[in-house]
Amino acid sequence: MLKKRLIPTLLFKNNNLVKDKNFKSERGVGTPLPAVKIYNLREVDELIFLDVSATNNKKNPNYELISEISKNCFVPLTVGGGIYCLDQIEKLLSCGADKVSINTKAINDMFFLKEACNVFGKQCITISIDYKYNSKNEPVVWTNSGLVNTSKNLIDVLKDLNFIKVGEILLTNIELDGTFLGFDIDLYKKVVPLVDFPVIASGGAGELSDFVKLVKETDVSAMAAASIFHFTEITPLDVKKELIKNNIKMRV
Amino acid sequence: MSLKQNIIILNYKTSNIKSIFNAIKLYDDGVKISSNYKDLKNADKVILPGVGHFGMAFQNLKELNIIPTLRELAEKKKLFLGVCLGMQLLADASEEAPNIKGLGFIPGVVKKFNEKCNLKIKLPHIGWNEIKIKKSTDLTKDILSNSDFYFVHSYHFECDEKYVLAKTPYGINFNSIINKDNFFGCQFHPEKSLKSGLKLIKNFVDL
């Protein structure tokens, strides 16, 4: 049976790991390399590594850093931030990434997204989508690390992605990010059945029961979290043990 | 890292070559990434890495002009390990690129998971899933049945049961490790499957 995946997200900016609330990402939480070593020991299922400043500063991915990180990483490593062309993807794969995550460029240029899926296989491309609710309580997609409101309805974007048959998405609620208030369960309940590809839930995990609730009440394929692992004593292994206690199959 | 064999990871541009390189390097210093037939010609073992699109990867193999060298090595009984897409390239054909013939080293056809057979499955099949060992060989030495490995794919290799070393359940029971003579293939990514995966890589290095 396919297990649910638990994925720590590591955000970085100018070679430092950062984490804050609602995508502000100003608070330094260390350096990436030691973090990856620790996470491997704790047996996470995957790691997502995102450069949150690359697109807005028009920077290329930090290939040297990825290359260093990958030496210690024997779980799948997804790398994102600043990707806008196929050459960058090839280079990332050749220096240690297993998958890439694309946000701004994927939302703005579906033609590019489709091409990337054709060249590298759709399973290699994770589309990262960030959303906020508007005044009518509709989920709306934001890009550029939460700085730009695209005014596109999240449901419409998901339908488009399903039509072009992408590999998987990382779906993050910006307003819950870093708040420890729990995942946006109602949204995942609604959107996961609309798409044929796996959905990774992200944003809001604050305690062990948040993960159990998410998996019990929705059909998400994976759960991503960052702040809970940076700022509390809870480790990925604690989360897995709690899920197993609740009869959810996890890899340990 | 005492061994020093000539292990070549074939670079056909669309794969996570560095990841598999890092894993093999743990056990053998002779590993090299290359797409040059001169390197390939002297290989003791060849790794066909995963990630990519069947048609695109095959097109790259053709453009690199290394298919004849691969066939020579195959005849010399050099050992091949195909990972994910690399395993699929060993087949006769793939539904992912119907007009392109595969290497044909292990008779079989690569098929898409039938979405209709089980409405609840999401595609691609991404994540950790167990293998059920059907036939024990040195490649799976010390690997327990029901161990979890990391999968990421939408297509699977259909072949005669006599080539099947392990199966994995996802809607159907598909073939997750196959072997014919000097050709081995695994649908999962051993280089990304922690202990069990690294064990399989070590076993291949030791073969």
pLDDT tens figures, A186-209 = 999 999 999 999 999 999 999 999
pLDDT tens figures, B19-53 = 899 999 999 999 999 988 899 999 999 999 977 78
Residue A112 pLDDT class (50, 70, 90 cuts): very high
Residue B32: how many other CB atoms lie within 10 Å: 17
pLDDT of residue B51: 73
pLDDT tens figures, B81-132 = 999 999 999 999 999 889 899 999 999 999 998 766 655 789 999 999 999 9
Long-range pairs of A20-25 with CB within 8 A, sequence gap ≥ 24: A20/A178, A21/A177, A21/A178, A21/A179, A22/A146, A22/A174, A22/A175, A22/A177, A22/A178, A22/A179, A23/A52, A23/A130, A23/A145, A23/A146, A23/A174, A23/A177, A25/A52, A25/A53, A25/A145
Interatomic CA distance for residues B11 and B18, integer angstroms: 10
Q: What is the mean pLDDT of residues B67-88?
A: 96
Q: A243 phi and psi, to 5 degrees?
A: -65, -40
Interatomic CA distance for residues B183 and A211, integer angstroms: 42
Q: Does B118 touch chain A (CB under 8 A)?
A: no
User: What is the sign of the dihedral through the CA atoms of B45, A70, A95 and B129?
Assistant: positive
Exposure string over A78-96, b if 16+ CB within 10 A, otherwise e: bbbbbbbeeebbbebbbbb
Residue A41 pLDDT class (50, 70, 90 cuts): low
Mean pLDDT of all residues belonging to chain A: 91
Q: Does A104 touch chain B (CB under 8 A)?
A: no
Q: Give the DSSP H or E segment for A242.
A: helix A236-245
Q: What is the mean pLDDT of residues B57-80?
A: 93
pLDDT of residue A242: 97
pLDDT tens figures, A133-190 = 999 999 999 999 999 999 999 999 999 999 998 999 999 999 999 999 999 999 999 9
pLDDT tens figures, B155-190 = 999 999 999 999 999 999 999 999 999 999 999 999
Q: For chain B, how far is it from start to end, CA to CA, in angstroms?
A: 15
Collect all residues of chain B within an 8 Å Cβ-Cβ radius of residue A120.
14, 51-53
Question: Quick check: A124 and B52 CB within 8 A?
Answer: yes
Q: What percent of chain A has pLDDT over 70?
A: 96
Question: How many Cβ contacts (< 8 angstroms) between chains A and B?
Answer: 119
Collect all residues of chain B within an 8 Å Cβ-Cβ radius of residue A70.
18-19, 22
Mean pLDDT of all residues belonging to chain B: 92
Question: Quick check: B18 and A76 CB within 8 A?
Answer: no
pLDDT beyond 60 at B77:
yes
